[in-house]
């Protein structure tokens, strides 16, 4: 039986870029290799394994404004749901605070993870508060809401460990 691979794909970058960062004019794709030690640290923090296809490299996107300076970051996330992958993107401002979140694709039957009320709970969360993310949704959890929460924790932890604290 073939192993599922969960690559992080950013679909329709131009639309999402300006949806989250209206002042963005362009973006740069950034790829960071993940060492065995870094992967071990990330998995220890998030208390689960990083999905196949996400264990060797971490990719994010630098959003640039008119002058070419970085105005924020987009992170594309793929996380396992009950009926396949849940794909979403979120933006971090230069203070490393979640600006907005957008679901790209999912096959989950329960739609509560797509509700704007649920997604808006993550706006304003700073990377320093990653451990608080699971507490933002105390209502009945579903595979879709769990996928979003776990994906955000994984992505914020990876960004922190690989980009902010990286070599």
| Interatomic CA distance for residues 97 and 83, integer angstroms | 30
Note whether residue 135 is domain-resident: yes
Q: Who wins on pLDDT, 13 or 47? A: 47
Residue 164 has pLDDT above 90, yes or no: yes
Q: Would the pLDDT of 8 be above 70?
A: no
- pTM for the complete prediction? 0.90
pLDDT of residue 5: 47
Residue 3 maps to a domain: no
Instruction: Give the C-alpha separation, 125 to 123, whole Å.
Output: 6
Q: What one-character DSSP code corresponds to residue 104?
A: E
Indicate if the pLDDT at residue 2 is higher than 80. no
CA-to-CA distance for 81 and 106, rounded, in angstroms? Answer: 8
pLDDT band at 167 (very low <50, low <70, confident <90, very high): low
**For residues 136-153, average pLDDT:** 87
pLDDT of residue 116: 93
- Over residues 125-140, mean pLDDT: 85
- Count Cβ atoms below 10 Å from residue 89 Cβ, excluding itself: 25
Tens-place pLDDT, residues 32-51 = 999 999 999 999 999 988 98
User: What is the percentage of the chain residues whose pLDDT exceeds 90?
Assistant: 65
Rg of the chain, C-alpha, whole Å: 15
In sequence order, what are the residues at sequence separation of 6 or more whose Cβ sits closer than 8 angstroms to the Cβ of residue 44? Answer: none
**In this structure, is residue 5 part of a structural domain?**
no
* Domains identified in the chain, total number: 1
The count of other CB atoms within 10 Å of the CB of residue 151 is 27
pLDDT band at 53 (very low <50, low <70, confident <90, very high): confident
Answer whether residue 4 is part of any domain: no
Containing H/E element for 19?
helix 13-20
First to last CA, the chain: 38
Of 140, 166, 146, 156, the residue nearest 46 (C-alpha): 156
Look up the domain containing 144 and give its range: 13-164
Rounded Cα distance, 147 and 79, in Å:
5
**Residue of 19, 35, 26 whose CA lies nearest to 71:** 26
User: CATH number for the domain including 153?
Assistant: 3.30.390.50
Is position 140 within any domain? yes
Confidence bin at 11 (pLDDT 50/70/90): low
Distance CA 74, CA 54 (A): 16
The answer to the question of residue 158 being in a domain is yes
**pLDDT tens-place string over residues 84-123:** 889 999 999 999 999 999 999 898 988 889 999 999 999 9
Instruction: Yes or no: say if 71 and 91 are a contact pair by the CB < 8 Å rule.
Output: no
């Amino acid at each position: 039986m073939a192993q599922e691979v969960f690559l992080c794909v950013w679909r329709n970058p131009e639309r999402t870029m300006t949806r989250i960062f209206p002042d963005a004019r362009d973006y740069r794709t950034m790829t960071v290799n993940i060492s065995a030690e870094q992967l071990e640290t990330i998995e220890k923090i998030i208390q689960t394994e990083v999905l196949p296809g996400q264990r060797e490299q971490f990719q994010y996107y630098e959003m640039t404004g008119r002058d070419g300076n970085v105005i924020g970051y987009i992170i594309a996330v793929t996380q396992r749901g009950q009926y396949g992958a849940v794909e979403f993107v979120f933006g971090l401002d230069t203070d490393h605070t979640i600006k907005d979140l957008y679901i790209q694709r999912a096959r989950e039957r329960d739609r509560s993870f797509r509700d704007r009320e649920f997604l808006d709970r993550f706006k304003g969360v700073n990377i320093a508060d990653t451990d608080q993310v699971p507490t933002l949704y105390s209502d009945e959890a579903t595979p879709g809401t769990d996928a979003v929460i776990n994906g955000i924790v994984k992505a914020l932890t990876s960004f922190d460990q690989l980009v902010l604290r990286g070599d």
